[in-house]
Chain A
Amino acid sequence: MLEIKGLCKCYNGESILDNFEMQVGKGQIFGMIGANGTGKSTVIKILAGLINPDQGRILMDGAPFLSNVNTMKRMVGYIPDNFGIYENLTVKEYMEFFSASYGLRGLKGRDRWETLLEWVGMTEHKDDFLEHLSRGMKQRICLARVLIHDPQLILVDEPVAGMDPVTRSVVKEILKKLKEEEKIIVVSSHVLTEMTDLCTHIGIMDKGQMLIQGEQSEVFRRINMSNPLHIIVLEGQDQAVALLKRDASVQSISMEGGHIAIQFDGDEQDESNLLSTLIGYGIRIQAFYREPGSLESLFMEVTKERAGES
């Protein structure tokens, strides 16, 4: 498990990370979500050993993570936002360079990068120059090279920017495989819609702090509790409204035909009780659901709350 505790980083007196906290377990794809300049890349770069934090602790399975640079680098695979591609090398030469950089030479190295090229579907391009490949292909090559030393922690900075559908599906497929291999994957992005598909866990960042984090469905659930509850009634609308008015958890009711939307203050148990009551009174219900939140609405909600607090 990766744990970040009280991480602080300042540049020229300006605080980029302020008591930042994060936990990511094995087999999780953790999406760090935040607007530009919220400190996502700084966290990624600290984890990749490229920047030193001013304060705070990073633990991997309970042990200090940054204390031994070599051990740390062996554990980390880092994809920067621009991929770090050498345009004037062929795919094969690029893979050879990175495998040699991790001490994998000769047949051992070759076997490894050939397998990875196969994974990302780029085997037939191994003799092509990187400058002649599309952005999506470069992304796939970059993903292959980052896995060359079989890292435990994979850091991906803004992976979805400009990703074509084929690459997106390849990347998703590979991340899924890595998840099954119990790797820890941290992805940062400001493209929220893409993260919904990609991540199992999410954390929302603002002004250098993690505002909310957890399993995606759980985070949604927590935030969605403030969303309206929709009830589509086929028969007995008036009776349903009367029952709803009697419920203490119902804050407001709006109705349009058989579609009733209520602001409901209760938890999932209260929702279940309410549904049972309605059915118990013989009201025919076609649908009963919380309005689903999007990552955008979730992000806006959380950052709005924070703005309100400050």
Chain B
Amino acid sequence: MRKLLALVLAMLALVAMMSFAVAEEPLTLTVMLPDFYTDVDFETENNPVLDAIEAASGVRLDIQWVANSSYGDMTSLTLADPDNMPMLMVATGARDPIIVNSARAGAFWDITDYIKDYPNLAAGSEGIYNNISVDGRLYGIYRSRAQARGGIYYRKDIAAQMGITEEPKTIEELTALAKALSDYSDDTYALNMVKYVAGTIGIITVAHGAPFNWGVNAEGQIYPAHQDPAFLEGLNWLRSLYAEGGINPDFMTIESGEWDSIERTGKAFMRFDCMDNCYRQQEWFEKNEGVTEEIWAMVPAVAAADGNMYMWPQNAGYSGEIVITKAVKDEETLKKVLAFLDWTNSAEGQTLINWGVDGETFWIREDGFRYTNPADDVDMSLQVQTLQHSLNQLGTNVTGDLTPAMKLTTLREEYNSYQKSMMEYIVNDPCHPLTSETYNSFGTTLSQMLEDAHVQYIAGIINEDELRAVWQAWSDEGGAMMTMEYNEAYQASIAK
């Protein structure tokens, strides 16, 4: 009897083992992502979002969250320990020397030849794939971002009080608007500027017709943007507004964190920045100041002297990329990982990655729109952050936005419409996909040198001759070398 029992047990054990071997183990994917909610713990067990992702894609995510503020440091630490790398990681700067060098050293899978087999990934923009490539090879999937985000927004109620009711269409009308806003009162300023000036200077110089960072001249050669006469016109625009008292005289000492509050306290009425801030400010005023009318207006671009519109690109079409590291050991696993990334770009994948599960982390209400809570007076943010956390950082969305729509205000709708309609006016940086050794070594110091001189010129500390002297010094200290390197790389890339 006992022998029989032992035999049965042994048989049962064998069957159990066999059944385990037959059922395919889901692939556990280790991922490193930036964490924007460091004060909330992510739920790893019994998380309906992770379960839903596993059920739909056959992949179990094992996520290592890294505080966004220290993500850059953590990237280099992670890459310094090849045995413990995650299989997937977000590289926040695709052109950072650390990422470029690691790609060249073989830290990531070269996916150039695989991508065509995955329909969603292949649907991504070729130009943006080119922007993130290293030496012509592709090492990641870009995280798609709208390019037509940067523009002008201002307080239209103040402008109306000063007699301007039309939105500016040309540079002259913009000048008139700035003048009117500047005259409103002695304690307030027209243009809201802070320590971070790259966006403001970029928007106004590009609007005047200057290239963005680098341009290509009539002979097909690369030249730095500040050598374009339109660039100086843009700087002069800011310089004369500053001289008239239209800009806070201390703007270069104000931290970027103050930017919003300057508008909220009514100290300044216009800003050259991402236009999504326009509807955010409108919504803030509605919520906190009891404003019922639309008091903010946005203008994506105005016509330059030649009559054309030029729009500053807020980014190069992406914000970082997802790379597959060599922690993925074989080609078979690589294909599974690529299939997973392909799935995250399907409508189902995008919804799960960006918003989570209906009824748990987002809610489709009766009107058919997506909300962050089931009803207006319910705060579900803690639950959303616990379950969904910053999972959207894994979203690449190269197929566009396929997720359930939110209900839009007029300003939000206007903003969204510009992202398509303004694309043709975007001025791109021809050197973005190219590498320059000098840029990698001295780039930060050289850009700083230019930016400082431009701020000093705007603030009237230095004159045009002194500004030209700094441009010459920039050229001598590595700028000329950089131009040459970019030019060589550019000529090589168009010859291909």
A binds B: no
User: Taking beta carbons and an 8 Å cutoff, which residues of B are in contact with A?
Assistant: none
